[in-house]
Amino acid sequence: MSQIALPLDWPAGESQEDFVVGDANADAVRHLDHWGTWPVMASILTGPRKSGRSLLGRLFARKTGGRMIDDADRRGEEELFHAWNAAQADRRPLLLIADSPPPAWSVRLPDLRSRLAATPVVSIADPDDGLMRALVEKLLAQRNLSAPPGLADWLVPRIDRTYVGLIRVVDALDDVALAKRARLSIRLARGTLASLGMRSEGVDGL
C-alpha cells in the first residue's frame, strides 16, 4: 500500500494518509496523474460510496488547478454542459464523480450526451484484501484505537467486501471498545461481528 503525496497546504483533517492506494484504485490514480494525456480536458470517476473517490477528486483539483463536481449524475445538465465546455476552453481539467458511468444517467440534453460519450471513464473497484487490511489499520488509528498484531488479518476475511461494510465494522468496534472501556482484541472483535449478524468464525476456528 502507498499514499499519494498531498500538497503541503492541504486542508486540516485531510492528509497524505487519508488516501491509501491499492489494486482497487491504482488505475484511477494513474489516470488522474496523467491528465495531460486525456483526449479531452475532462474525465469521469466512478466507484462505490465511501471508496475515497471524493477525497481523490479534491486532491486532484487542488494539484491541477482544475475542478471537481461530485454526484455529477444528480447535477443540472446545463451546469455540467457549461463546466465541460469551460474545461476545454481554459485547458483546466474537469473531474466528474458519480456512482455509475453516463449510460446509466438520464441525460436529455443532446449536446451534453455527446460530450459525456467522448469523456474517459475510470473506476474505483471494491477493495481487495491488501486495501481492506490497510484501511482497517488506518481507520482504527484515526480513532486512536490500538490494534493488536493480527487483528486486521483476522477481520479482513470476515468483513463484507465493501467500503461501507468496512466502515460499519470499524465504527462498531469503536463503540464497543468505548462502552466496555476495553482494549481491542480478537475476542472483542468476534463478539462485535456476532452482534452485527456477521460471520465471526473462520476456517481456522479463531
Whether 200 is in a domain gets the answer no
Residue at grid coordinates 449478524? 197
Q: Any idea what the Cα angle at residue 190 is, between residues 155 and 138, rounded to 5°?
A: 35
3-state SS assignment for residue 121: strand
pLDDT value at residue 201:
60
pLDDT value at residue 10:
35
Residue 188 C-alpha cell reads as 472483542
pLDDT value at residue 203:
41
pLDDT value at residue 51:
94
Same domain for 119 and 64, yes or no, is: yes
Q: How far apart are CA 199 and CA 206, in angstroms?
A: 11
Same domain for 150 and 179, yes or no, is: yes
Whether 206 is in a domain gets the answer no
Same domain for 55 and 157, yes or no, is: no
* Sign of the torsion formed by the C-alpha atoms of 168, 170, 172 and 175: negative
- What is the CATH number for 137? 1.10.8.60
State which residues form the domain around 45. Answer: 2-123
**pLDDT per residue as tens digits for the range 156-173:** 999 998 999 999 999 999
Same domain for 33 and 100, yes or no, is: yes
pLDDT value at residue 166:
94
Which residue, of 92, 123, 154, is where some domain finishes? 123
Same domain for 73 and 174, yes or no, is: no
- What is the CATH number for 97? 3.40.50.300
Q: 57 and 45 in contact (C-beta within 8 Å)?
A: yes
Which residue, of 123, 144, 168, is where some domain finishes? 123
Which residue, of 123, 140, 158, is where some domain finishes? 123
**pLDDT per residue as tens digits for the range 7-28:** 333 343 454 456 889 999 999 9
Same domain for 6 and 105, yes or no, is: yes
Q: Which residues of the chain have pLDDT under 70?
A: 1-18, 199-206
Q: 60 and 32 in contact (C-beta within 8 Å)?
A: yes
pLDDT value at residue 1:
47
Same domain for 22 and 111, yes or no, is: yes
Same domain for 142 and 68, yes or no, is: no
Residue 163 C-alpha cell reads as 467500503
Same domain for 17 and 44, yes or no, is: yes
